[in-house]
Amino acid sequence: MNRSPLFGIALVLLAVACFATLDTITKLVTLTVPVMFALWFRYAFQAVATTVIMWPQRQSSLWATQNLGLQCLRGALLLLTSMLTFFCLTFMPVGEFTAVAMTTPLVVTLLAAWLLKEQVSIWRWLLVAGGFVGTLCIIKPGGDMWNWLLLVPLFQVLAYASFQILTSRMVRTEDPITMHFYTGWVGTALATPPLWFYWQPPQTWQTWMGLVLMGLAGSSGHFFLIHAFRKAPAVALTPIFYAQIGMAILGGWLMFAHLPDSWSIAGMVLIACCGATSTWLAVRQPQQPPLKHGPVL
C-alpha cells in the first residue's frame, strides 16, 4: 500500500470539513424536526449507503467479524455519542461545542492510563489539565450564561473517548469497512424503536435536503477518514483534526451569525494547543503509538 502523508492530510481536511458541515446542518435541521428523527435518518443513510457501495466488492464478507458483541457495543457507544452531540447542538453554538468535543484525545489519555494501564508522562497529565482549563473557559461555570446543561458535552466527550478506546482494540483484528458497516446498522437498529414516540417527518423540502446533506456529510467524512489513515500515520494526521474548530466557527457564523467571545476563543486555542502538543509527544515515543482518534459522529 502506497503511503502519502500529504494526501492523507488532504483527506483529513476533507473529513473534518464534512463533520463541521454535519454539525452545522444538524443544528439547523433540529430546529424543525425531533432530534431522534434526525439521528435515525443520519444512521439509516450511512447504513444503506455503506451497504450499497461496498456490497458488490465484499458481498457476505462485509459482515464477517470475529466479535459481534464488541461490534454492537461499539455501534451503541457511537450512537450514544451522536445522540449527545445532536442534543448539545440544540443549545450550544457549533464552534464552542466542537472545541469541547476536541478534548476527546486528552480524555482518551486518561482512560488509557486507567483501563489499559498505559504509562502516562507528567507532561501528558499537564496537557490533559490544560485541555480541561480550556473547556472551563468555554462553558464558564458560574458565569451569567451558565446552565447545568453545559455539562452534557462532558458526557459526550466521555462516551466518545470510550468509543475510541474500544476502537483502538478492535482495529487489531477487525476490518475498518466492516466496522463502519456495523456502526451504521447497529445505530439504525437502536434508533428505530424510539421513532414510535418521535416520528415527525419534515414538512418542507428544505428540511429533507438538510437531512440528506447530513447523511452525505457524515458518510463522506467517515470514508475520507478511513482512507486518510491508510495513507499516513495517525501521529501525522491527528493535529489536522483541530482545523474542525475553525471550520465549525465559520459554519456558526455563516448560518447563525454567531462568533465566540474572547474567553471561548482562548479556550479553543488552549484545547487545540494541548491536543497538538500531546500528538507531538506521541511522535517522540514511537514505542507507544497513539490511538487513532478523530471526529466520528
Residue 147 — very low, low, confident or very high, per pLDDT cuts 50/70/90?
A: low
What secondary structure letter does DSSP report for 174? S
Q: Which domain holds residue 203?
A: 5-283
Which residue has 472551563 as its cell numbers?
Answer: 136
Q: How many domains does the chain have?
A: 1
> How much is the pLDDT for 291?
46
Give the pLDDT confidence of 113-125 residue by residue, as tens digits: 666 666 667 877 7
Is 53 a member of any domain?
A: yes
> How much is the pLDDT for 295?
47
Is 184 a member of any domain?
A: yes
Answer with the residue of higher pLDDT: 168 or 20.
Answer: 20
Is 289 a member of any domain?
A: no
CB 11 within 8 A of CB 225: yes
Is 291 a member of any domain?
A: no
Cα distances (angstroms) measured from residue 180 to each of 39, 52, 194: 16, 13, 23
Is 288 a member of any domain?
A: no
Answer with the residue of higher pLDDT: 283 or 278.
Answer: 278
Give the pLDDT confidence of 190-231 residue by residue, as tens digits: 999 988 887 877 888 888 999 999 888 887 887 787 777 777
* Average pLDDT of the segment spanning 64-79: 89
Q: Which residues contact 70 (CB under 8 A, 6 or more apart)?
A: 166, 169, 170
* Number of alpha carbons in the 13 Å side-chain half-sphere of residue 198: 16
Is 84 a member of any domain?
A: yes
Is 143 a member of any domain?
A: yes
Is 20 a member of any domain?
A: yes
Which residue has 500528538 as its cell numbers?
Answer: 279
**C-alpha R_g of the chain:** 18
pLDDT score of 14 more than 70: yes
CB 232 within 8 A of CB 4: yes
